[in-house]
Every structure is written in C-alpha cells, then in structure tokens.
C-alpha cells in the first residue's frame, strides 16, 4: 500500500519568514496530493491540492510543488502569520480513492 | 450549503459498551470515508463507502468495527465492546464523486472516550 512520510514533525518560524514542509510517497500510481490544516480540536481543512499532471500550484501565500519522478511534494507558506500556526498534513490518493496521510507537521509562527 | 455533519461531537462509553458514530455527507455527496486520529498522531484511513456499498474496508479492524451507508440516512460507524484503545477522534469525510471530483471535505469529528 501507499506510504507517506512527512518532515519535519515540528517547525518554528518567525512571523514573516517562509515555511516549507516536505512529503514523500511510495506508490507511483498516486495521482492526487492534498494538504490539510488542522487547528487544535478542529477538523482538517483543505488548503491546497495538486494533481499529478501539474508540477506547481499557487494560491496567494501558499504554494505546492510536485516532483513525480522523485515522488515528493512540498508545501510552501510565505510571509507567515501567527494564524498560520497549526498542524499541517500532506496526503496522497491512490487508485483506490482513499487518502494516505503523512504524520503531520506542527507549525509554530512566533510573533 | 451545510458541510459534513457528525454527531455526537463527544461520546463517552465504558469498556464493553457500544459506540455509534453518525456522519451526514455534504449535500449531493455520495462517497463517505471514515478516518481515525489518535492523540498527537495523523489520520488513518478506516473505510470507504458509497450508498449501500462498502468499497474498501482495508483500514478497519476485522472485529468489533462495522460501517454502513444506507440508502436513506447518515453513514454509521459502529464499534462494539469498546476498549480503552478505541479512544480517539473519528472523522468522516465526503466527496462528490471519485476521479477528478474527489476532493474530500471533513466533518468536525466525534471524540470518543472510553473509560
């Protein structure tokens, strides 16, 4: 089955700096890669996603890149703000339509 | 347009009791997924259902756990004879379709505590 590794597990940045979270996946048939943000005690919220037919996607301060050959994808957050503090999960969807999640990254943005 | 609804939000059970968790997908969504999240951990896939069908239950323990998504009404995740290790947050998600319309939207979760 699919295996998704996510790094780092915790990330602390100063407000205004950039944050990068990286994930690798094992199943070359996976074709859809969403990122979710989860605040304490809340539901995971989709923040951006990318499909395997594109290499990069951007939405304001958030961008995701995908390298299919190397089987890794990354989340980039620029100009971080304290409200970006949360746990971020990457995921990969295989042909069976279910998501396999990474272990999560706790992002702390210090004012 | 209401999002994915789950109830109850919090559920306390004693060891050996049954837990029933309900999930109403977003309007028009016919695909439902259940995930379990242990404290300080990621989400683990349990089961994927469409109306009246279980599509994939590879992540669900073979014993004590069952799931259904009837023609009418919410999807139900049922845990029989709960044990302390079942304490977790259980999230369901729904999607409109499979393929390119498969974005999964999550409900608020049910936090199960087994005493």
The 10s digit of each residue's pLDDT in B29-58 is 989 999 999 988 889 999 999 988 999 999
Which secondary structure element, helix H or strand E, spans residue B19, and what is its range?
Answer: strand B19-24
CB contact under 8 A, B103 and A34: yes
Residue B39: closest CA among A11, A91, A87, A84: A87
Residue A99: its chain B contacts at CB < 8 A? Answer: 33, 35, 43, 45, 104
Give the separation between CA B107 and CA B110, rounded to whole angstroms.
Answer: 9
Report how many Cβ contacts below 8 Å link chain A to chain B. 54
Q: Which regions in chain A score pLDDT beneath 70?
A: none
- Confidence at residue B96, expressed as pLDDT on a 0 to 100 scale: 87
Which of B10, B35, B45, B107 to substitute to test the interface with A, most A CBs within 10 Å? B45
Average pLDDT, chain B: 92
Number of residues assigned to chain A:
111
Q: What DSSP designation does B73 have? A: S
pLDDT above 70 coverage of chain B, percent? 96
- Confidence at residue A95, expressed as pLDDT on a 0 to 100 scale: 75
Residue B99 confidence class, pLDDT cut points 50, 70, 90: low
- Confidence at residue B60, expressed as pLDDT on a 0 to 100 scale: 94
- Confidence at residue B100, expressed as pLDDT on a 0 to 100 scale: 62
Does the beta carbon of B107 lie under 8 angstroms from any beta carbon of chain A? yes
């Amino acid at each position: 089955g699919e295996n998704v590794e996510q790094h780092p597990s915790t990330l602390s940045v100063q407000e205004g700096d950039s944050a990068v979270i990286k994930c690798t996946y094992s199943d070359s048939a996976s074709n859809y890669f969403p990122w979710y943000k989860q605040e304490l005690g809340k539901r995971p919220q989709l923040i951006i996603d990318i499909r395997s037919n594109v290499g990069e996607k951007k939405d304001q301060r958030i961008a995701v890149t995908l390298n299919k050959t190397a089987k890794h994808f990354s989340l980039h957050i620029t100009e971080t703000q304290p409200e970006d503090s949360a746990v971020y999960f990457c995921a990969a969807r295989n042909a069976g339509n279910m998501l396999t999640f990474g272990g999560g990254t706790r992002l702390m943005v210090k004012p | 347009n209401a999002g994915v609804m789950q109830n109850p939000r919090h559920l306390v059970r004693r060891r050996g009791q049954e837990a029933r968790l309900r999930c109403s997908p977003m309007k028009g969504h016919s695909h439902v997924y259940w995930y379990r999240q242990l404290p300080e951990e990621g989400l683990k896939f349990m089961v994927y259902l469409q109306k009246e069908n279980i599509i994939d239950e590879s992540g669900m323990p073979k014993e004590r756990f069952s799931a259904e998504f009837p023609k009418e009404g919410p999807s139900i995740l049922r845990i029989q004879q709960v044990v302390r290790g079942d304490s977790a947050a259980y999230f369901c998600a729904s999607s409109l379709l499979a393929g390119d319309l498969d974005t999964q939207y999550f409900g608020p979760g049910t936090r199960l505590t087994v005493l």
